[in-house]
Amino acid sequence: MSNFWNEPRGLKSWLLTRDHKRIGVMYLFTVIVFLMLGGAFALILRLSLVEPNNALVSAHTYDRLFTHHGITMVWLFMIPSIPSAFGNILIPLMIGARDVAFPRINLASYYIFVIGAITVLVALVAGGVDTGWTFYTPYSAASATAVTCAALGVFITGISSILTGLNFIATVHTMRVSGMRWRDLPLFVWTIYATSIILVLATPVLGLALLLVGADHAWALGIFDPASGGDPVLFEHIFWFYSHPAVYIMILPGMGVISEVVSTMSHRKPAWYGAIVFATIGIALVGFLTWGHHMFVAGISTFDAGLFGILSMMVAIFSAIKVFAWTSTMYGGRITISTPILYVFTFIFLFVFGGMSGVAVATTSLDVHWHDTYFVVAHFHFIMVGGTLTAFLAALHYWFPKLTGKMYSEVWAKLACAAVALGFILTFTPQFLLGNAGMPRRYATYPPQYQWLHVLSTAGACLLALGMLTVLLYLIVAVFAGTPAGDNPWGSKSFEWRSPSPPPHENFPAPPVWNTRTDGPYAYEEET
């Protein structure tokens, strides 16, 4: 059966491909490798924290481990994961296009990403960086570690991000199938579009921040060095102007996945489609107004801190709209209890708690106590792991039959989902308690009274790791020996399911004729 995997044939046809599906798959494999690397760093960190005096790693190694855990997870997994992998595979299929707007730039973005990632790995091998993933000055200028190399690597991956975002925006604007208006777009496409806006506007600011760190490290410019009259807080402004919207790059595509899975598994059109679109764009834009909440205790003016605190609360409104819309879509419906929907339930549960803890830390007066403690660590892991990673797993399981034409073992999948969910909760709930009790983040050792919470957290991390490995294993098995699933095992009306699974090389032999108004991506039969 001819499909994009085997047509055209040969290694060269893969390395020089312009097929968005192949590029997406290459991204998918690559980010999974980095997920495992980042996870390995995390596991070592957690294991070392079982003992208060940390017999496992030295303090310096500990610093480098959490730095590279952050760098690897943020830039080599989270940012590219859903957009560059699933976005690439699905956007053209969802809008009836042959490919993205600029297929060669798409391929270039992948290779640029790989070059950047390798550069970061070179920094790791050269001894690693110990500044934290945030590269704060003036320490990043002074640290005797491979700062410039790591900053350069991340800078290069940033170029890849911008090219990806640019491609998606141009694609959605100009390559929708005839008759498909903006209001007919699947919600996943909307979230990738909004993410792309953030990618092209925020990433350059990170680029500058990293250039300045590199220049400062290499040439002692002292731009942020108090000894030269510089102000380190200004670096934080520039850095967080990107890094806060970056978290919306990480969550918005995940929300798009959730919307798709919810609709398909409930066999219902999304409740409040317009509100979800509004919330999507709202998150992307308002997300740019909130960066100062990372700097409440850095020495910014009280005026600025108050301003950012209020603005940060506003973003929660949009997230809430989405959560209510998803639950409203599912309420009273006949839901297919499959692995993807189980990940959706996990997502909604953990995202709500993570989001509420976000509103909590956005409250300036409270954050003064929680900043730089495990409370913040727990908050963002609830969103990033409980949110994005869970959505990534949902996407993997939901579109697995689309990509392979096969189905994985439901038994193992549900077991692994339980392990991931429970493992996550056990890892990070104790961290809220740790932080609230005063345990600082980035510390290799700690007073004995915190030990029991650390032990619980590490036990959870082991369970989480086990669950993730299980997912990897049965998915690999299913690729080769899974039961044939047919073209549309979920009975989805979404456009990507209206072609064979796996899709053919050219997506659609002729431009598809879709009646997007009466037979759109959510045109499920109304239940009585």
Question: What is the amino acid identity at position 271?
Answer: A
CB 307 within 8 A of CB 332: no
**Which one among 47, 307, 356, 360 touches other proteins, defined by CB under 8 A?**
307
Would you put residue 499 in left (φ > 0), alpha (ψ -120 to 50) or beta? beta
Distant-in-sequence, close-in-space partners of 260: CB < 8 Å, separation ≥ 6: 186, 187, 188, 398, 492, 494
CA distance 43 to 189: 34
What is the C-alpha to C-alpha distance for residues 251 and 145, in angstroms, rounded to an integer? 31
Site mask for other proteins (CB under 8 A), range 73-112, x = bound: ----------------------------xx----------
User: Minimal distance in Å, beta carbon 136 to other proteins?
Assistant: 15
| 247 is a site residue for other proteins (CB under 8 A) | no
Q: Is 292 a binder of other proteins (CB under 8 A)?
A: yes
Options 79-87, 129-137, 169-177, 360-368: segment touching other proteins (CB under 8 A) = 169-177
The packing angle between helices 88-95 and 20-48, to 10°, is 140
Q: Give CA–CA dist 62/442, Å, rounded.
A: 8
- Total count of residues recorded for the chain: 528
Amino acid at 59: A
Q: Would you say 310 or 455 has its CB closer to other proteins?
A: 310
Q: Name residues contacting other proteins, limited to 221-240 (CB under 8 A).
A: 221-223, 228-231, 233-234, 237-238
Please name every residue paired with 484 in a beta bridge, in sequence order, or none if there are none: 406
Closest approach of Cβ 216 to other proteins, in Å? 9
- Minimal distance in Å, beta carbon 94 to other proteins? 18
Residue number with CB closer to other proteins (10 or 229) = 229
Nearer to other proteins, 295 or 453 (CB): 295
Interface stretch with other proteins, choices 67-75, 288-296, 453-461, 519-527 (CB under 8 A): 288-296
Nearer to other proteins, 207 or 423 (CB): 207
CB of 502 to other proteins, least distance (A): 25
Q: What is the DSSP letter of 143?
A: -
Alpha carbon of residue 372 to chain centroid = 22
Kindly state whether residue 202 participates in binding other proteins, applying the rule CB under 8 A.
Answer: yes
Q: 170-189: which residues touch other proteins (CB under 8 A)?
A: 170, 173-175
Provide the minimum distance between the beta carbon of 102 and other proteins in the complex, in angstroms, as a whole number: 7
Rg (CA), the chain: 23
Q: Give one DSSP letter per residue of 180-224, joined into a string.
A: --GGGS-HHHHHHHHHHHHHHHHHHHHHHHHHHHHHHHHH---TT
Pick the stretch among 84-92, 110-118, 168-176, 472-480 that binds other proteins (CB under 8 A). 168-176
Number of alpha carbons in the 13 Å side-chain half-sphere of residue 245:
27
- Number of residues near other proteins (by CB under 8 A): 47
Interface residues toward other proteins, by CB under 8 A: 101-102, 162, 165-166, 169-170, 173-175, 200-205, 207-209, 212, 215, 219-223, 228-231, 233-234, 237-238, 241, 288-289, 291-292, 299-304, 307-308
